[in-house]
A and B are shown apart, each in its own frame.
Chain A
Amino acid sequence: MRHELMAVVAAAALAMGAASAQAQMSDGIIKLGVLNDQSGTYSDLSGQGSVWAAKKAVEDFCKATQCHDKIEVVFADHQNKPDVGSNIVRQWFDVDKVDAVVDVPTSSVALAVNTITKEKNKVFLVSGAAASNLTGKDCTPNTVHWTYDTWALANGTGQAIVKTGGDSWFFITADYAFGHALERDTEAVVVKNGGKVLGKVRHPFPAQDFSSFLLQAQASKAKIIGLANAGADTTNAIKQAAEFGIVAGGQNLAGLLVFITDVHALGLKTAQGLILTEAWYWDANDANRAFAKEFAAANKGNMPTMVQAGVYSAVMHYLKAVHELKSDADGAAVVAKMKAMPTDDKLFGKGSIRQDGRKIHDMYLFEVKKPEESKGAWDYYKLRATIPAEQAFRPLNEGECPLVK
């Protein structure tokens, strides 16, 4: 009896000790959670590279401010599944005292995290996800969409192609939410600029063989075959289009979401001539090259994608806002501060965040180099046009975001 009582008292004392220690931690620490794909299709374009970028931003921020705040970066794998992602984020917010979730590719997962972040009044910094709904109908006072979105991709690639004569389109679309959104946004741009859509085919996700869909696209006689898909689906489709002589036959491909890792996977021989829109390219200026060099040294020689660069830039701005506010407790207040402060960092330069949570910066239209134009590994893009920040993203009044009045 006596022993039992002792045990209970000891346990209670321990629990209290633990509780007080935890309370202290949650006050004194800024905790960032990088949530993305650590093992699947999107792990090369986000994955550990994004974790590295977040840690790098913390390191650089600390150097600049002598690091008065204690900052910690944790990460997890959402496996591209909304339910898995939601569970992790709830655990992070409720138990692990995470203050901000970063990255989150795969739009379906990002939309789920978006809702939870608002509910818990934390901060969501989106870099990996594409759906423009995040700053449209589903916008919240707790979310900032940093790097790119489906509207910007459609606007950049779609408009450029229609204006240079590619006025008839055939879509090969991944049959899920993201593919449909990208197809919808691009079709709108094509039609608005005087082009027409001759047909579309929805392929199962993921798909291995595209020859059948390519043959249908070939038969449509459309000048442009728009690929509204991503990752291995896109690289497979492009690889097989070359094989079936699509480009040699006078039709052109438009990869609506192509990352530099996809171009690397294809090789320049297959990818040459492809037109694509990106928010960031490692070889654009000295600051980017310096960042890329450090990134490559830590990530098996790979160059950073725009998603990973966006993670760096977003985390940097978040930390500045928290530093100014001297508190990370109220997520909506931090995001309001982020919107109030102009953004400025070494990778994305000067910019701003709109009322709907959309980060505004220039976007770039690139063309993939021919093998003989490339000076070596990862020298893949030549700049065709810079899309100025004010034209690169969906106009504020067209997104139907409830925050915009």
Chain B
Amino acid sequence: MFELIGVPPQALFGQLLLGLINGAFYALLSLGLAVIFGLMNVINFTHGAQYMTGAFCAWMLLNYLGIPYWGALILAPIIVGATGILIERLFISRLYHLDHLYGLLLTFGLALIIEGLFRRQYGISGLPYANPIPGGTNLGFMFLPWYRGWVVIFSLSVCLATWFVIEKTQLGAYLRAATERPDLVQAFGINVPRMITLTYGFGVGLAALAGVLAAPIYSVNPVMGANLIIVVFAVVVIGGMGSILGSIITGFGLGVVEGLTKVFYPEASNTVIFIIMAVVLMLRPQGLFGTPK
């Protein structure tokens, strides 16, 4: 049996696949951020809190209303997306004429408030959420839980569908046009503010969807998003702020890089993404898939 830098290839395949699975979360979350930034120019720091809210929403639906995972997968993004719309109407919409920084500060503050409220109500330790498809299959080089396989396939489909809608359809064309010249698009009789509001709701819904996907495998606690959001922002920066396809490819790619780091030098696995970010910012400040402005 040959080895690659001291690691048997079987272990390596396993880690690559795991990296891809983690990448699925990065991709789904960074996609939401990219949609919101690309179409609204808002740096949504509430994203992590909204991801957490999605997971809690799934838990509440199950425990208060008896709605299982599959129902939550549809309902939670809609519910959390609706709260996103409310937030956009009440707060964020008032800041469009100001610098990005104001939106960032506002959403960061909102994230702290949301997390604080959940912590007050549910404590910090987390809540149990059962795996809806337990078991798995032995692939020869690793044991693949069914649920992880489902996460990869589902999130890849959602990512590609989102990319398709924004880049290849009439609706997407309106959206992109509204970003460039809102006044002109409005003149053609399209309700631009409503479209922006719905876009924010959609981006938030994507975060909540990732939260529901995470509930059965990660601890459902009020700070689950705070830990992840920083990494996801790095993913977005590496991919290129606002680039839809960039965020998807970078999300999956960085998941794999991180997975490999966990084999060769696990201590650095939290840092590797930021090292890549620093290098990318130095060599290609607009990000791997971004266009210079």
Chain A nearest CB: distance from B149 CB in Å? 12
A262–B119 alpha-carbon span in the complex (Å) = 15
**Cross-chain contact A239 with B219 (CB below 8 angstroms):** yes
Tell whether A215 pairs with B124 under 8 Å between CB atoms, given A204-B267, A240-B217, A245-B136.
Answer: no
A245–B227 alpha-carbon span in the complex (Å) = 26
Chain A nearest CB: distance from B251 CB in Å? 14
Q: How many A-B residue pairs have CB under 8 A?
A: 109
- For B270, the chain A residues whose CB sits under 8 A away are 204, 207
The tally of residues in A whose CB lies under 8 Å from a CB in B reads: 44
Chain B nearest CB: distance from A308 CB in Å? 13
B119 in complex: contacting residue of A39, A208, A209, CB < 8 Å: A39
Chain A nearest CB: distance from B291 CB in Å? 32
B130 in complex: contacting residue of A44, A208, A236, A267, CB < 8 Å: A267
A245–B262 alpha-carbon span in the complex (Å) = 20
**Cross-chain contact A215 with B127 (CB below 8 angstroms):** no
A175–B224 alpha-carbon span in the complex (Å) = 19
Asked whether B81 is an interface residue with its Cβ less than 8 Å from the other chain, the reply is no
Asked whether A206 is an interface residue with its Cβ less than 8 Å from the other chain, the reply is yes
**Cross-chain contact A235 with B126 (CB below 8 angstroms):** yes
Tell whether A43 pairs with B130 under 8 Å between CB atoms, given A213-B266, A232-B221, A245-B136.
Answer: no
- For A203, the chain B residues whose CB sits under 8 A away are 266, 269
Asked whether B71 is an interface residue with its Cβ less than 8 Å from the other chain, the reply is no
Of all chain A residues, the one with the shortest Cβ separation from B21 is A211
A42–B259 alpha-carbon span in the complex (Å) = 28
- For B33, the chain A residues whose CB sits under 8 A away are none
A151–B269 alpha-carbon span in the complex (Å) = 29
**Cross-chain contact A44 with B123 (CB below 8 angstroms):** yes
Tell whether A267 pairs with B124 under 8 Å between CB atoms, given A212-B15, A219-B11.
Answer: no
- For B224, the chain A residues whose CB sits under 8 A away are 208
A261–B127 alpha-carbon span in the complex (Å) = 10
Asked whether B182 is an interface residue with its Cβ less than 8 Å from the other chain, the reply is no
Of all chain A residues, the one with the shortest Cβ separation from B262 is A212
Interface residues of B in 194-221 (CB under 8 A from A): 216-219, 221
Tell whether A213 pairs with B262 under 8 Å between CB atoms, given A219-B11, A235-B125, A245-B145.
Answer: yes
Of all chain B residues, the one with the shortest Cβ separation from A173 is B266
- For A264, the chain B residues whose CB sits under 8 A away are 125
Of all chain A residues, the one with the shortest Cβ separation from B121 is A300
**Cross-chain contact B217 with A239 (CB below 8 angstroms):** yes
Interface residues of B in 58-106 (CB under 8 A from A): none
Chain B nearest CB: distance from A15 CB in Å? 39
- For B227, the chain A residues whose CB sits under 8 A away are 206, 208
**Cross-chain contact A302 with B11 (CB below 8 angstroms):** no
A211–B14 alpha-carbon span in the complex (Å) = 10
**Cross-chain contact A208 with B228 (CB below 8 angstroms):** yes
- For B177, the chain A residues whose CB sits under 8 A away are none
A302–B126 alpha-carbon span in the complex (Å) = 13
**Cross-chain contact A232 with B219 (CB below 8 angstroms):** yes
Asked whether B108 is an interface residue with its Cβ less than 8 Å from the other chain, the reply is no
Interface residues of A in 252-273 (CB under 8 A from B): 261-262, 264-267, 269-270
B142 in complex: contacting residue of A175, A215, A232, CB < 8 Å: A215
Tell whether A300 pairs with B125 under 8 Å between CB atoms, given A213-B262, A236-B218, A239-B217.
Answer: no
Asked whether A373 is an interface residue with its Cβ less than 8 Å from the other chain, the reply is no
**Cross-chain contact A236 with B259 (CB below 8 angstroms):** no
- For A242, the chain B residues whose CB sits under 8 A away are 131
Of all chain A residues, the one with the shortest Cβ separation from B134 is A243
Asked whether B143 is an interface residue with its Cβ less than 8 Å from the other chain, the reply is yes
**Cross-chain contact B259 with A212 (CB below 8 angstroms):** yes
Asked whether B35 is an interface residue with its Cβ less than 8 Å from the other chain, the reply is no
Tell whether A175 pairs with B267 under 8 Å between CB atoms, given A232-B219, A243-B145.
Answer: yes
A218–B11 alpha-carbon span in the complex (Å) = 10
- For B147, the chain A residues whose CB sits under 8 A away are 243
**Cross-chain contact B130 with A265 (CB below 8 angstroms):** no
Q: Interface residues, chain B, CB within 8 Å of chain A?
A: 11, 14-15, 18-19, 21-22, 116, 119, 123-128, 130-131, 134-136, 142-143, 145, 147-148, 216-219, 221, 223-224, 227-228, 259, 262-263, 266-267, 269-271
- Taking A44-B124, A211-B148, A212-B263 as given, write out 7 further A-B residue pairs in contact, using a Cβ cutoff of 8 Å, ordered by the A residue number: A40-B124, A215-B14, A215-B18, A232-B125, A232-B219, A235-B126, A267-B128
Q: Interface residues, chain A, CB within 8 Å of chain B?
A: 39-45, 175, 201-204, 206-209, 211-213, 215-216, 218-219, 231-232, 235-236, 239-240, 242-245, 249, 261-262, 264-267, 269-270, 300, 302
26 contacts between A and B (CB under 8 A): A39-B116, A39-B119, A41-B124, A42-B124, A44-B123, A44-B124, A44-B125, A204-B271, A209-B18, A211-B148, A212-B262, A212-B263, A215-B11, A216-B263, A232-B219, A232-B221, A235-B125, A236-B218, A243-B145, A243-B147, A244-B145, A245-B136, A261-B123, A261-B125, A265-B128, A302-B123
For the complex of A and B, the 10 pairs showing the least CB-CB separation, nearest first, are: A267-B128, A204-B270, A212-B262, A265-B126, A265-B125, A44-B125, A261-B125, A44-B123, A243-B145, A235-B219
